[in-house]
């Protein structure tokens, strides 16, 4: 699980180079990076992580109370996770 912080996404290119050959999925906590982008790719897109979660807690960039919607970025996620 990756954690983006202070509006800065993780280095997803480096992470993909490690995880893709091993078939490991990336789950991203983007609570502090809503609206951010990595090399022109917005946080939450399939090119960065397989699933991205955003949080709306009071200390986050976008607040609405307490919630954390996941954002699956691939339609194959349920079968890939074994569900």
Q: What is the pLDDT of residue 22?
A: 96
Show me where the domains of the chain are located: 2-75
Q: How far apart are CA 5 and CA 70, in angstroms?
A: 17
Q: Which residues are catalytic?
A: 60
**pLDDT tens across 29-52, in order?**
888 887 888 888 888 887 888 888
Closest of 29, 39, 40 to residue 6, by C-alpha:
29
Q: Is 28 exposed, middle or buried (CB count within 10 Å of its CB: 0-12, 13-18, 19+)?
A: buried
Give pLDDT, residue 4.
86
Q: How far apart are CA 50 and CA 1, in angstroms?
A: 10
Evaluated on CA atoms 12, 72, 24, 30, the torsion sign reads: positive
> Model pTM?
0.66
């Amino acid at each position: 699980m990756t954690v983006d912080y202070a509006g800065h996404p993780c280095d997803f290119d480096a992470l993909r180079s490690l995880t893709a050959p091993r078939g490991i999925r990336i789950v991203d906590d983007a609570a502090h990076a809503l609206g951010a982008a990595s090399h022109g790719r917005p946080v939450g897109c399939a090119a960065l992580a397989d699933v991205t979660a955003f949080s709306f807690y009071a200390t986050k960039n976008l607040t609405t109370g307490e919630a954390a919607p996941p954002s699956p970025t691939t339609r194959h996620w349920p079968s890939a996770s074994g569900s």
